[in-house]
Amino acid sequence: MKKLLGALFVVVFVLLIGTGPVWAQDASRFDDDDSFVLKVNGSATIATNESVDGVIIIRGDVVVDGTVREGLMVYDGTATINGAVGGDIVIVSGNLVLGAGSSVKDIMLVRSDITQDPTATVDGEIQESSGDLTLGRGFLIFSILWFIGTVIAGMVAAIFFGWLGRAQLFGSVETLRSNVVGSLVTAIVLFIVLPLAAGLTVFTLVGAPLGLSILLVLLPILLALGLIVFGAWIASYLIKGSSTAAAVGTAVLGVVILALVSLIPFVVFFVLPAGMLGAGALVYRSFKRASTGALPQQS
């Protein structure tokens, strides 16, 4: 279990290292939170009477005279421990110095050296690795390529939607703008009630094909179209017009905006509900058109 945790720490390091230039623009963005210290291209000191939850240092040094309650990770730097670290210590391409009277637990060294005072206490294992991070870098590359491929697929789908379904796209955007409640109720039915009903039919021999089709085909397609609709709603404030070219441009720009937003931590969790709401607007408009024969007026 400890080896697994250590491996996970290394993967986190690789991901942080890969995005180092971005983080470097604000090396102390988490300094306002006394429970966690993150430094990029900078150093930090935990004072004697100071206690923090965790420390991550990338291309810098850290001196711990106080207490780190959880983990401490350093890439391309030196960690000097004179106090105590209650969690795992991971050092990648750096040095670890355990001063007199220091107390630490498990240590993982990747292409790193350790200097230990005779009075320092290591209440755990010291693991050393030659630094084969192929798995972590491979995962990073795979994630980047997967993201790019998904964005390209979304842009292609947006082009076809805007080209072949201009009226449906603009109508759904207007529905989302003018009737949020109807779109929201429809989204709830689509992505909560309908999956529950489909899930029940899966356990019956007769209903299984229909239930699986709903869960594995219909709902993913609706979600993808909903993301295009919601993105187009945002982009419609930037691109004006009702031509086919405007529809294609709005749809593509919306996909790009949502893709960029999905890279923001925590905000990504709002992208999925946004797609559901967009699908709700699309389906609500279709049912309203079928029942009344009229479309919501475009502004």
Q: Are 111 and 128 in contact (CB under 8 A)?
A: no
What strands, in cross-sheet order, belong to the sheet with 126-129?
Answer: 36-40, 54-58, 72-75, 89-92, 107-110, 126-129
| 30 has a pLDDT exceeding 50 | no
pLDDT at 32: 42
pLDDT at 284: 94
Q: How far is Cα 145 from Cα 269, in angstroms, rounded to an integer?
A: 21
Going by pLDDT thresholds of 50, 70 and 90, the confidence category of residue 38 is: confident
Q: How far is Cα 96 from Cα 87, in angstroms, rounded to an integer?
A: 15
* Residues 212-224, mean pLDDT to the nearest whole number: 93
Going by pLDDT thresholds of 50, 70 and 90, the confidence category of residue 144 is: confident
Give the start-to-end residue ranges of the domains of the chain.
2-132, 141-292
* Residues 9-22, mean pLDDT to the nearest whole number: 42
User: How far is CA 83 from each of CA 34, 49, 87, 223, rounded to the nearest angstrom?
Assistant: 17, 10, 13, 52
pLDDT at 9: 47
Span of 1-15, 166-180, 187-201, 276-290 with lowest mean pLDDT = 1-15
Task: Give backbone dihedrals phi and psi of 144, rounded to 5 degrees, phi first.
Answer: -65, -45
Q: How far is Cα 10 from Cα 92, in angstroms, rounded to an integer?
A: 8
Average pLDDT, the chain: 83
| 25 has a pLDDT exceeding 60 | no
Per-residue tokens: 284: 């609500």
What strands, in cross-sheet order, belong to the sheet with 103-104?
Answer: 51-52, 67-68, 84-85, 103-104, 121-122
* Residues 220-224, mean pLDDT to the nearest whole number: 94
pLDDT at 293: 57
pLDDT at 22: 36
Percent of the chain with pLDDT over 90: 57
| 268 has a pLDDT exceeding 60 | yes
Per-residue tokens: 267: 């905000």
| 250 has a pLDDT exceeding 70 | yes
pLDDT at 18: 43
